[in-house]
Structure 1
Amino acid sequence: MQASGRVLVCDSIDQAGIDSMKRAGLNVDYKPEIKADELVKTVRDYDVIVVRSRTKVTKDVVDASNAKIIARVGVGLDNVDTKAAEAKKIRVINAPEAASVAVGELAIGLMISLARSIPRADAEAKKGNWIKKELMGSQLSGKYLGIVGVGNIGRNIGRMAKALRMNLIGYDPYPISKEFVSETGMIVTDLDTLLESADFVTCHVPSTPETKHMFNAGRLAKMKSTAFLINTSRGEIIDENALYEALKSGRLAGAALDVFEVEPPTNKQLISLPNVVCTPHIGAQTKEAQELASTVIAEKIIQILRGVI
């Protein structure tokens, strides 16, 4: 059964999803560089708005639209005014399942990079500096990994970390899967206890008013001075100035950040620290994850417009 409707794709997405929508009979306009003012002017002509993280679907955009669906090709929905959409009875969908492996693998890679000073070792070796004696690292095996937010991504990381013989500690305001806890032997506890106990802390929570600066000076002070903090979720959950002070003073051993309060990051003093590893929000930037996210969203759009779901 063919679907009908006009789709505006506002950001760069994998071609597989676009092809799927076209095969289903949808009229797809691909405008990955569309500006906010143009979006407000043209959005009324579309039944579906598809975005990644660049485009902000503000209340102005929602109010100007006649859309049935707003689709985010990714995990979070913090760039979509979901309350405004709900008020207009617009379906808001995303693809949280698509990036869980890619983000999980990056988080593990960042942990190893911190534990073994891989970025520094690479940079110095290329300069001709043989600093072997300065690079005494630590193993992940036997260490305690604190996972803050034990959803799809958090559970994937837990399974990978368990394969590395790490011990798991988990915190989530929502119930954690009993099957996962049984499978991995995860210790479920409160956030403060997790921070006091973990050698590595990895964050996987959405950006909400409740999570903004959840890692503030007080929380960072609870962590071990030998601990490492990894954030591949949303930059707003960490108070970057507090993190800078903790890292500079030695109250925290190191941090790896894939996300920042402002992107590209403007907090140069933080990202310039030698015990900070930075990546430019590449958690979901794998060919496999982008193709899967695009095709998952396309299929959801098609099924909704057909009245199946």
Structure 2
Amino acid sequence: MTKVLITPRSFGKYDDEAFQILKMNHVEIVPNTTGAVLSKDKMKELVADVDGIIAGVDPLDAEVLACAPKLKAISKYGVGTDNIDLDYCKEHDISVSITKNANRNAVADYSFGLMLAVARRIPEISDGCKNGDWSKKVAADVFGKKLGVLGLGAIGRGVIHRALGFDMQVYGYDVVEDDVFLEDNEVTFASLEDIMSECDFISIHLPLIPQTENLINKEMLSKAKDNLVIVNAARGGIINDDDLYDALVNKQIYGAGLDVFQTKTPKESKLLTLPNVVVGSHTAASSKGAVAKMSLMAVSNLMKNLREKAMA
């Protein structure tokens, strides 16, 4: 019988169709029963005799993968593969797939929601009212402002489509310039420096790779307007958290919305102490629709790759 480790806690939570597909294919499921992201030691224990893994953000580096001699395929529940040693997988003929675009609308919604929450000070005002402070608080405008989108993949494009409804002037930054998309959506392709100096809002949708690590740092933040709102629902590490904290404390920029952090222990981040920072628990993709879609896609990808390995 095929054995599959499933680590994401939300997998199949709102629709059991993904579990039914595994059952029909006589798959023995190894569940994550901890209620948390698995540690490296726990991963080493659980991967020992599995044929496949449906993986969240749990560690799958070479040390962990070396403990999985039967492993044939990894299906990432999401799109970021920075927790997976892809070189090891290639060397050992382990297929790796992602649930591309499954959560694009959920993350785009959340990213735009972060912009609104920070600009209009929504959490701050709500908390104040609940604690007896019913004073009026002046906030920033969103409609008609300039938005820079860093990363023009499916999620970045989703944010742009939402921004057009707010009559925003949009600037885009990516390694690839798609002239048709830019023209159709009236997006100005620009350098990172120009976006930092021109825009009122910046939304980040880049992968975390060596070229993007610490991309938003002290130097870049020094170019920003003092009314800038920056949001990141992509990957921690793209923004240097210490530099962002300094920029916020010194009022170089207006505010930030963060669903991800540079530090592995975000509960200890200084950014949590600031009233002009709205934070999330890496939850942008966690809508019921996205969870169901990612679960089905993850299972489909895994079963396809396992079948191909069996026939090879």
TM-score (ref. length: structure 2): 0.91
Match of 1:295 in 2: 296
* 8 A contact 1:76–1:96 mirrored in 2: no
Q: Map residues 139-178 of structure 1 onto 2, 5 A cutoff.
A: 139-173=141-175, 175-178=176-179
Deviations, residues 102-151 of structure 1 (Å, cap 9, x unaligned): 1110111111111111111101111111211xx22233221111000111
For residues 228-252 of structure 1, give each alpha carbon's deviation from its aligned partner in whole angstroms, at most 9, with x where no partner exists: 1101111111111111111111111
Runs of 4 or more consecutive aligned structure 1 residues displaced over 6 Å after TM superposition: none
Give the AA of the match of 1:119: P
The aligned residue for residue 8 of structure 2 is 11
Kept after mapping to 2: 8 A contact 1:149/1:172: yes
Q: Where does 1:72-151 land on structure 2 (aligned, <5 Å)?
A: 72-132=76-136, 135-151=137-153
| 1:57 aligned partner, one-letter code | L
Between the aligned partners of 2:67 and 2:218, the Cα distance in structure 1 is 41
- Distance in 2 separating the partners of 1:178 and 1:21: 42
Cα offset, 1:176, TM superposition: 3.7
Q: Indicate which of 56, 59, 62 corresponds to 1:59.
A: 62
Tell me which amino acid in the other structure corresponds to 2:169: N
Q: Distance in 1 between matches of 2:47 and 2:244?
A: 40
Return the TM-score normalized by structure 1.
0.92
Counterpart AA for 1:60: E
User: How much has 1:263 moved relative to structure 2?
Assistant: 4.2
Q: Name the count of aligned residue pairs.
A: 302
In the superposition, relative to structure 1, how do residues 239 and 205 fare at CA in structure 2: closer, same or farther (>3 Å)?
Answer: same
**Could you tell me how far apart the structure 2 residues matched to 1:9 and 1:59 are?**
19
Q: Which residue of 2 aligns with 1:239?
A: 240
Please state how far the C-alpha of 1:32 moved relative to its aligned partner: 4.2
Q: Aligned ranges for residues 203-222 of structure 1 at < 5 Å? A: 203-222=204-223
Give 1:196's aligned residue: 197
**1:301/1:195 CA distance change after superposition, 3 Å:** same
Tell me, yes or no, if the aligned pair for 1:181 and 1:187 is still in contact at 8 Å. Answer: yes
| Correspondences of 1:29-68 after superposition (within 5 Å) | 29-33=30-34, 35-53=39-57, 55-65=58-68, 66-68=70-72
The answer to whether the Cα contact below 8 Å between 1:18 and 1:28 also exists between their aligned partners in 2 is no
SS at match of 1:92: strand
Q: Give the equivalent residue in structure 2 for 1:271.
A: 272
8 Å CA contact retained: 1:11, 1:32: no
Q: Structure 1 residue 41: deviation in Å?
A: 3.8
* The 10-residue stretch of structure 1 (112-121 or 42-51) with the greater mean CA deviation from structure 2: 42-51
Shift in alpha-carbon separation, 1:38–1:124, aligned structure 2, 3 A: closer
Q: Matched residue of 2:266: which SS?
A: coil
Stretches of structure 1 that go unaligned for 5 or more consecutive residues are none
Using the aligned pairs only, state the percent identity: 29
Moved more, 258-267 or 73-82: 258-267
8 Å contact kept, 1:140–1:165: no
State the shift of 1:39 in Å: 3.0
Q: Is the 8 A contact 1:75 1:99 kept in 2?
A: no
Partner Cα separation in structure 2 for residue 168 and residue 31 of structure 1: 42
Q: Is the 8 A contact 2:56 2:77 kept in 1?
A: yes
Residue 140 of structure 1 aligns to which amino acid in structure 2?
V
Structure 1's 162 and 187: CA in aligned 2 closer, same or farther, altered over 3 A? same
Alignment partner of 2:47: what SS? Answer: helix
- Stretch deviating more after TM superposition (68-77 or 17-26): 17-26
CA distance in structure 2 between the aligned counterparts of 1:120 and 1:41, rounded to whole angstroms: 44
